[in-house]
Amino acid sequence: MSTYTPLDSLVRQLAALPGLGGRSARRIALHLLQRKEQQMLPLAAALQEAAERIRNCQHCCNLDMSDPCAICSDARRTESRQICVVAQVSDLWAIERTGAYRGVYFVLGGLLSALDGIGPQDLKLEKLSARVFDLQCEELILALSATVDGQSTAHYIADGFAGKPVKVTRLAHGVPIGGELGYLDDGTITTALKKRSA
Ligand SMILES: [Zn+2]
Model confidence pLDDT, tens digit, residues 156-171: 999 999 999 999 999 9
- What pLDDT does 2 receive? 62
Q: How far is the CA of 80 from the centre of ligand 1 (A)?
A: 14
- What pLDDT does 1 receive? 55
Query: How confident is residue 187, by pLDDT bands cut at 50, 70 and 90?
Result: confident
Residue 156 CB: number of other CB atoms within 10 A? Answer: 15
User: For the residues 170-196, what does the mean pLDDT come to?
Assistant: 88
Q: How high does pLDDT run on average in the chain?
A: 93
- What pLDDT does 4 receive? 84
- C-alpha distances in angstroms, 18 versus 22, 24, 68, 110? 12, 11, 28, 16
Q: How far is the CA of 11 from the centre of ligand 1 (A)?
A: 34
Which residues, including other chains, have CB under 8 Å from residue 31's CB and lie 6 or more apart?
39
Is residue 85 within 8 Å of residue 157, measured between CB atoms?
yes
- What pLDDT does 145 receive? 92
Q: Is 162 exposed, middle or buried (0-12, 13-18, 19+ CB in 10 A)?
A: exposed
Residue 59 reports pLDDT greater than 90:
yes
Residue 51 reports pLDDT greater than 70:
yes
Q: How many residues does the chain have?
A: 198
User: For the residues 41-60, what does the mean pLDDT come to?
Assistant: 96
Tell me the percentage of the chain whose pLDDT exceeds 90. 82
* Alpha-carbon gap, residue 111 to 92, rounded angstroms: 15
* Alpha-carbon gap, residue 133 to 161, rounded angstroms: 11
Query: Which residue from 68, 112, 108 is spatially nearest to 86, judged by alpha carbons?
Result: 108
Residue 185 reports pLDDT greater than 80:
yes
Q: How far is the CA of 83 from the centre of ligand 1 (A)?
A: 11
Q: How far is the CA of 97 from the centre of ligand 1 (A)?
A: 16
Which run of H or of E encompasses 167? strand 167-170
